């Protein structure tokens, strides 16, 4: 992920990726399931990009992955 992102942003992006992969869902499939373009998730997960999620994205992703938005956040502040 882009070095200009904050630690919390890296954590959330990694957690979404981890949960997505554990459920066998592709980047494209998750992008489409939240009403975004084909490369939305891949742009966020790409190390060279500054793209990141907002709270609306995280809520939609939680619905798509059948989990809680809290599952993306660390237990303690970073």
pLDDT score for 4: 73
Dist CA 49 CA 45 (whole Å): 8
Query: Which structural domain, as residue segments, surrounds residue 27?
Result: 7-70
Q: Which pair of tokens denotes residue 6?
A: 């904050």
pLDDT score for 48: 87
Residue 2 maps to a domain: no
Q: What is the pLDDT of residues 59-74, one digit of tens each?
A: 999 999 999 999 999 9
Q: What is the pLDDT of residues 2-15, one digit of tens each?
A: 567 899 999 999 99
- Contact 34/60 with Cβ under 8 angstroms? yes
- Contact 30/61 with Cβ under 8 angstroms? yes
pLDDT score for 1: 53
Residue 24 maps to a domain: yes
* Domain containing residue 44: CATH number: 1.10.260.40
Contact partners, residue 55, CB within 8 Å, separation at least 6: 69
Q: What is the pLDDT of residues 23-78, one digit of tens each?
A: 999 999 999 999 999 999 999 999 888 899 999 999 999 999 999 999 999 999 99
Residue 78 maps to a domain: no
pTM attached to this predicted model: 0.91
């Amino acid at each position: 992920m882009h070095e200009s992102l904050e630690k919390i942003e890296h954590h959330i992006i990694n957690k979404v990726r981890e949960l997505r992969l554990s459920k066998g869902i592709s980047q494209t499939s998750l992008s489409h399931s939240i009403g975004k373009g084909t490369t939305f998730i891949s742009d966020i997960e790409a190390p060279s990009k500054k793209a990141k999620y907002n709270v609306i994205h995280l809520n939609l992703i939680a619905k798509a992955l059948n989990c809680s938005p809290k599952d993306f956040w660390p237990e303690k502040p970073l």
